[in-house]
Structure 1
Amino acid sequence: MSSFQAGPFNQAQTPQGTSTSFLQQGVSRDVVDDNLHDLNILWGSLDTFPLEGFGRGLPNELITLPELDIPESINSELTAPMTGDTLGNVRLDSPLSDDDASLSNFQLPPLQHNEDSQDTDNVLHTSESIPSEPHIPWRISKEDYQLTLGKIEHVRHILPESFSFPSKYVFCRYIEGYFTGSHGHLPFLHLPTVTVAHLTPALVLAIMAMGAQYRFEQARAVKFYKASRALINDHINLHSTSNSLYTPGSQLDTIDRTEKTHFEVLQAQIILTTLGTWGNHDLLHDTLGMAGQMSLYLQDSGLLLHDRHSDDGSWLAWIQQEGQRRTKYIAYMICNVQTILYNMPPKILNSEITSILLPWPEELWSATCAADWKSLRSKWAKSVTFGEVYSQLFRHQPNHRIYSSLSSFGYLILIHGIFQQIYLAWESSCCLPGSSEGHPMALPHELLTRFHTALRRWQKGWETSSDPSITPASPKGPLGFNATAIFRIACIRLHFNLGPHRNLGTADPDAIASSFCNAPRPTQHSLPTGSRPGPGAALSPQAMQTPQIYHAILQSIHALSIPVRLGVEYVARTQTLTWSTIHSLCNLECALFLCKWLETLALNPTDLHRDTRRLLRIILSVLREADLAQPGGLGGEFGAQQLRRMGAVLVRLLSKILKGDHVFEMMHVFCDSLQIYANRLENDIDSDISA
């Protein structure tokens, strides 16, 4: 049995202002010191956290994993907190409006620019000279607004009869809502050069739909969604019989107008699919169908088989190729998100994207001129394909040098690939010996070890990469932050296949809470041949106390501890715009995983390993920080009822974190479902005590 190591986290200084209130409650100073020590493991040596985030990297080596023989990971340092009124690569030339107030702490730094330059007002950069001023897509000129109106009027006969285009200032508000809210998570448009008036109407309307959603104007978001959808359907009908859009012999230095239109329609589908996946439940079925159309187009067109790559040194040609590449990968990832959220088979498989080059780093993508781009590109090695890097994660002796040139976007794609393979491993184990009602209780031990090794390699590579970011307000974008959420979900899914047991597609909190209650407990090893436990059964608590499952438990604790460190009420009320939806889903799975793990331990609480007790004390320390800890158990003794109640309190904690206002409807569904689930857990515990 492994033991806890004294690492950089538990050698840290004591954070200020933690747990002093417990001294007033008669808690001994030794207990308070233990509490601080446990929290230092999670939160590192920072006396205070920047508003946007985390301590140092992902917890990894708290518990040794000797059978994997993987060296201790290197903790990434947190980027200094950002200040000012900047966003992305552009500087706002006026104070933030009331609409932007909640984002003021999360602005990104500008690249250097000429303060004396004149306003170019949305002129597309057609040359590679240094731009006179940073480009702001939502700064719409009268001419560009009229140009957009003309394009909409040209397709007016396709749009719903009730459709009307908004005024210039409303139009600008929605464009700004998209680029300041959603764009960082879907970075396929090149912010320094994109001009909204030059985009196809379907994409413009999709951007407006998402922008309206980020301005909390759901009714208008649905209106623009339906208008964009009508144009997408018309485009598909017109081109349903066309052949592949890409031919290997086509020119690399230009993009055919028809192909540009096809890609922009694909981008519109991605935006609408994202909106419907997380937003209005009435759009869900249409969104799922649109994701199928999107994946079918990519497969039939041959775009997944070929990746344009030009070494001619042209910045504009590179922008076009990189934008297409990013579009394909984002389509792949949104289909994966639907798999995570709704337990649907992935529509684009890992095997279909092996020949596509991974995206370049965000600092290269956000370069504002050819000179900056050329200077930055000289620092990076040649790009590699998904297949080249992904295979290294599973090899006995991988080439570690290949990871050094990967971007945060590349690591996000790789962790999506690992998750998809874990999902398919569970599905391929269906109805095999050891299954319960057709659902496998655990993955084979050999598979567990291989996946765990791949996850550890991914984490080590991510932490030592050129742009690891663990905050949503990183200057290099939120993609690294989003990658940590998928990473934690993948860690959990190795041991707890919660996907079939959530019923999230109903958007009914009662039905979802019932599914949570009936979900089986996590297991560690494959069951002996011929054994068939009943619904909700689990292996003995011994199987829940191994180094591999400890890693998933520690990741889950760390994820839930971050809002506690920042302040539950503060996060609930102020940071819902900057914490991505995938993190809310990740936290949901973390809370359920920990709750079910605690239920399993409660079956035999007298046989808890030393490391298990340490993890339990860390959980208790987090709950104390949130003022949710129950009396008892301060000396390290955990009874069955206390373990079960700790699980219920963790669920209650996450419901409090999610109780604030949210851009997307699904977050409210999560919150309501967790509240109902916590009530049922607490009622069951109270009933058992009174019985």
Structure 2
Amino acid sequence: MVAGNRYELKLRTEGREGAQPSREEWVEDEGCRRTYYAVYIFFGLLTLTYNHTPAISFNEFDSLELPSSESLWSAEGVDDATWREQLTASAITKFREAHDNLFQGEPARYSAFATRVMINALFLEVWYMKRSPEALQDVVTEYKLRLALETWEKSLALCETETVVIPLSAPHKGHPLIFNAMAMYRNTRARLEVDLKSIQEALRYHDSYEVAAAMTTARDNVKRSQEMIKVIEQCFDCIEVAALQGIRWVARISATNWSVEHPLCGLDLIVILSLWLYRLEHDEEPATDEELAMYKKVRNLFDDDSVDIYGSKLSSIVARLWGSMLDEVVVWGITKLMGESFKLHSQALVGYEDAIASCSGASTPGMSTPSEELDIDSNSGF
């Protein structure tokens, strides 16, 4: 169906021979484009979650325009002349043009939907690089991807202003698609440094023990380096979103109010963060000043009682907290799997004996009674 719509769109566009479409024609064309890009994003999430090969090739979008702003797409109650003026004034660019701008370090202006499309494209570029033996040795490709990601982030300031208000209970005050895109951005930045393919493939079998085992054995993939500090900053941003809003609030609201992108993208980030903290707690090599500063930033999210109760292992606390948050309210089945996996991963990080001791009291550190709850520091807004 999607391929057929794309082909029909191509025929209609060519049939106009350069003439501008009428309003009705544009709405039909835009609907086709939006459907195509929505499927592209969906397949991107399958790749992100299960390491499936992307089903839609990058080259299919060369001549396709990016989605318009929500304001233009949802315009109602305006005459054709006014609508035509709005269309002319809007910044609708083609996919290839926007893609090239990002890789050349030139910030681009496009809609919120287009912002989500472009970070999906960059994520898949990173995925292809990690799966190509030749590209892994190509420092130029990696440099260009870093440049494109930095430019994408700078382009957020140029994003078309939306007049259509969509209510969202989230810390992000802009359009929900930008909120979702930022989750994908953090994940993509992390994947440039850390490849957790084994976890993604374990998720295919829906066995929490297999997923948890893959999480714990991935610690050799998490190095201690200057570049890793930048990744940990992205991981910190991810967990801080929950901390600032309140863990229990996020657990209950995000399941029904936020997109599934947030738990899916957060999986890699929290695994990386927990394993990096584990390395700092157990490596013989002393921590650098930057590593200590980042460790303390994460530590300051938690009160002293929580750290004392759960064995003073910050790595385990982070994993247990995230698992408890994911499976408190289940809408998407995969979040329950991820929640259970994180709890098992938390036990593995503190060791079998410590896990038995901690499990004999409270079941999870954040979602039962106040005395058992893994609190967030009051300075963080909980």
Task: Name the TM tier (shorter chain).
Answer: 0.7 to 0.9
Aligned-residue CA RMSD in angstroms? 3.1
Alignment of 1:319 with 2:27, yes or no, is yes
Q: 2:288 maps to which residue?
A: 609
Q: Does 1:361 align with 2:93?
A: no
Structure 2: distance between partners of 1:520 and 1:651: 13
CA 1:415 to 1:586, structure 2 compared with 1: closer, same or farther past 3 Å? same
Q: Alpha carbons of 1:622 and 1:475: their partners in 2 closer, same or farther (altered >3 Å)?
A: closer
1:284-342: CA deviation from partner (whole Å, max 9, x where unpaired) = xxxxxxxxxx6xx459x746867838864632222111101111111111111111111
Counterpart among 235, 241, 251 of residue 572 in structure 1: 251
Q: SS of the residue aligned with 1:339?
A: helix
Q: Confirm or deny: 8 A CA contact 1:471 1:481 kept in the other structure.
A: no
2:351 to 651, 673, 683: 683
- Distance verdict in 2 for CA 1:375–1:304, change over 3 Å: closer
Match in the other structure for 1:582: 261
> Within 5 A, what are the aligned runs for 1:456-605?
456-467=150-161, 472=168, 477-502=175-200, 503-522=202-221, 544-546=224-226, 548-602=227-281, 604=283
Q: How many angstroms apart in 1 are the aligned matches of 2:259 and 2:195?
A: 23
Cα pair distance change 1:377/1:563, threshold 3 Å: same
Is contact 2:317–2:346 with CA below 8 Å preserved after alignment? yes
Output one character per residue of 1:393-451: Cα deviation in whole Å (capped at 9) or x when no partner.
Answer: 222xx443xx12x011111111111111111111112xx7xxxxxxx9x7654433322
Look up the SS of the partner of 1:422 in the other structure. Answer: helix
2:344 partner amino acid: I
Q: Which amino acid aligns with 1:456?
A: E
> Which residue of 1 is the match for residue 95 of structure 2?
386
- Rate the CA distance shift 1:477–1:399 in 2: closer, same or farther, 3 A: closer
- 1:612-647 deviations in whole A, cap 9, x for unaligned? 22111111112339x643499xxxxxxxx96xx222
CA distance in 1, matches of 2:242, 2:307: 16
Is residue 560–residue 591 contact of structure 1 (8 Å, CA) maintained in 2? yes
Q: Residue 419 of structure 1 corresponds to which residue in structure 2? A: 123
Is residue 346 of structure 1 aligned with residue 54 of structure 2? yes
Tell me the TM-score normalised to structure 2 length: 0.80
Aligned to 1:189: none
Aligned to 2:322: 654
| Matched residue, 2:303 | 624
Name the structure 1 match of 2:373.
Answer: none
Q: Which runs of 5+ in 2 are unaligned?
A: 356-382
1:684 CA drift (Å): 4.7
Is contact 2:106–2:151 with CA below 8 Å preserved after alignment? no
**Taking structure 1 as reference, are residues 487 and 472 closer, same or farther at Cα in structure 2, changes over 3 Å only?**
farther
| Matching residue's letter, 1:333 | I
Q: Is the 2:189–2:231 contact (alpha carbons within 8 Å) kept by the matching residues of 1?
A: yes
**Aligned partners of 1:373, 1:679: CA distance in 2, in Å?**
59
- Aligned counterparts of 1:472 and 1:486: Cα–Cα separation in 2: 18
How far is the alpha carbon of 1:344 from its aligned partner? 0.7
Please name the residue that 1:451 is paired with: 145
User: Alpha-carbon deviation of 1:471?
Assistant: 8.6
CA contact (8 A) 2:235 2:269 kept: yes
Give the number of the structure whose residues are more often helix, by fraction: 2
CA distance in 2, matches of 1:424, 1:304: 28
**Aligned pair in 2 of structure 1 residues 608, 342: CA closer, same or farther (>3 Å)?**
same
Contact 2:120 2:184 in 1 (8 A): yes
Q: 2: CA distance between counterparts of 1:682 and 1:391?
A: 47
Verify the 8 A CA contact 1:573 1:660 in the aligned structure 2. Answer: yes
Deviation at 1:459, TM superposition (A): 0.4
**1:306–1:457 distance in 2 versus 1, CA, 3 Å:** farther
- How far off its partner does 1:601 sit? 3.4
Q: Give CA deviations for 1:220-271 in whole Å, capped at 9, x if unaligned.
A: xxxxxxxxxxxxxxxxxxxxxxxxxxxxxxxxxxxxxxxxxxxxxx4xxxxx
Task: Report if the CA contact (8 A) 2:9-2:29 is conserved.
Answer: no
Residue-by-residue CA offset, 1:15-50 (whole Å, 9 max, x unaligned): xxxxxxxxxxxxxxxxxxxxxxxxxxxxxxxxxxxx
Q: 1:481 to 1:333 in 2, by over 3 A?
A: same
Amino acid corresponding to residue 585 of structure 1 in structure 2: L
Contact 1:362–1:476 (CA under 8 A) maintained in structure 2: no
* 1:682 Cα deviation from its structure 2 partner: 2.1
Distance 1:611 1:504, change over 3 A: same
CA distance, structure 1, for counterparts of residue 315 and residue 144 of structure 2: 30
> Share of identical aligned residues, percent?
23
Q: Secondary structure at the match of 2:149?
A: helix
Could you list the runs of 5+ residues in structure 1 that have no partner in the other structure? 1-265, 267-293, 433-439, 524-538, 633-640
Native 8 Å contact 2:126 2:191 kept in 1:
yes
Structure 1 distance, partners of 2:167, 2:191, is 23
Q: 1:326 to 1:476 in 2, by over 3 A?
A: farther
Deviation at 1:472, TM superposition (A): 4.1
CA deviation after TM superposition for structure 1 residue 573, in Å: 2.3
Cα distance in 1 for residues equivalent to 2:306 and 2:57: 43
Give 1:549 shift: 2.7
CA drift at 1:365:
1.2
TM-score, normalised by the number of residues in structure 1: 0.46
CA distance in 1 between counterparts of 2:75 and 2:173 reads 13
* Structure 1 residues 347 and 369, CA gap change in structure 2 (3 angstroms): same
Match of residue 377 from structure 1: 87
Which residue identity lines up with residue 553 of structure 1 in the other structure? Answer: I
How many residues are aligned here? 345
Following superposition, the deviation at residue 602 of structure 1 comes to: 4.1
2:225 maps to amino acid: Q
CA contact (8 A) 1:412 1:482 kept: yes
